[in-house]
Amino acid sequence: MADHEPHGGSGTGRHLLWGSAGHALVLAALIERRGGRVLALFDRCEMPSALPGVPIFIGEAGFERFMAGLDDPQDVSAAAAIGGARGRDRLALQALFRRHGLRVACLIHPQASVCATATLGAGCQVLAQANVAAGARLGDACIVNHQANVDHECVLGDGVHIAPGATLCGCVTVGDGAMVGAGSVVLPRLRLGADCVIGAGSVVTRDVPDGACVAGNPARPLRSS
């Protein structure tokens, strides 16, 4: 877990976003709300820019080409605009950004609530009306999506995604790369394993093993990877 930005979060200044799908639109809107500006988008696949007037560069070759012409990379923040269960990809991108001297800032929506006693790893994204409560600890590259709740003393590993409207009750532990689907509830003190997926709308009443996919109320295994 790396040092985090102050809870005010970054969003001001100049930004790069890797990913040109829906999550890029969400982050671009957040950055605009904070008075910042997106300089360029990047994506692994050939696709149009999600943002009018903002150029897109494809693949690592495109990224290298853009970086070769960029002055003062340490004054530019980069974020992985990739949602879903792709926390490991966000972590890999953050490593790429750091190798190029870019800043990996937290992006915190002005309408999100992050308690002063919570800690956020590098590149966390806390979106509108999300809540991160007292004593919660988030690893690097976590997303707490719109209206999601991470209650007191929860501990999230790296690359975790808490999808829109999901609630982790107090003292829940979540392993690296896990995703908690939209609108789910995880009861207090449970442990969700690394890379597990919780289906949308689930109520999780028991610990979930690494790599499992569970769904329903109460949540039951759908498959195991």
Ligand X SMILES: CC(C)(COP(=O)(O)OP(=O)(O)OC[C@H]1O[C@@H](n2cnc3c(N)ncnc32)[C@H](O)[C@@H]1OP(=O)(O)O)[C@@H](O)C(=O)NCCC(=O)NCCS
Q: Give the residue, chosen from 36, 123, 164, 175, that forms a contact with ligand X under the rule CB under 6 A.
A: 164
87: which 2 tokens? 């926390």
Q: Name 135's Cβ contacts closer than 8 Å, sequence gap at least 6.
A: 115, 117, 118, 152, 153
For residues 184 and 180, what is the distance between their CA atoms, to the nearest angstrom? 7
Nearest to 195 by CA among 223, 154, 159, 144: 159
Instruction: Check if the beta carbon of residue 137 is closer than 8 Å to that of residue 155.
Output: yes
**Residue 13 or 201 with smaller CB distance to ligand X:** 201
57: which 2 tokens? 């560069």
Q: Does 126 bind ligand X (CB under 6 A)?
A: no
What binding mask, one character per residue, do residues 41-80 give for ligand X by CB under 6 A, x or -? ----------------------------------------
Catalytic residues: 152
Q: Does 215 bind ligand X (CB under 6 A)?
A: yes
Closest-by-Cβ residue to ligand X is 199
Q: Give the residue, chosen from 73, 170, 201, 211, that forms a contact with ligand X under the rule CB under 6 A.
A: 201
Q: Does 163 bind ligand X (CB under 6 A)?
A: yes
Q: Three-state SS across 122-141?
A: CCCEECCCCEECCCCEECCC
Task: Name the DSSP class of 204.
Answer: E
Q: Does 218 bind ligand X (CB under 6 A)?
A: no
**Residue 201 or 211 with smaller CB distance to ligand X:** 201
Nearest to 78 by CA among 65, 90, 87, 86: 90
Instruction: From 25-33, 65-73, 97-105, 193-201, give the range in contact with ligand X by CB under 6 A.
Output: 193-201
Q: Which residues pair with 155 in a beta bridge?
A: 137, 173
What binding mask, one character per residue, do residues 136-155 give for ligand X by CB under 6 A, x or -? ---------x----------
Q: Does 105 bind ligand X (CB under 6 A)?
A: no
Q: Among residue numbers 8 through 37, which ones bind ligand X (CB under 6 A)? A: none
Positions touching ligand X (CB under 6 A) are 83-84, 145, 163-164, 181-182, 197, 199-202, 213, 215-216, 222
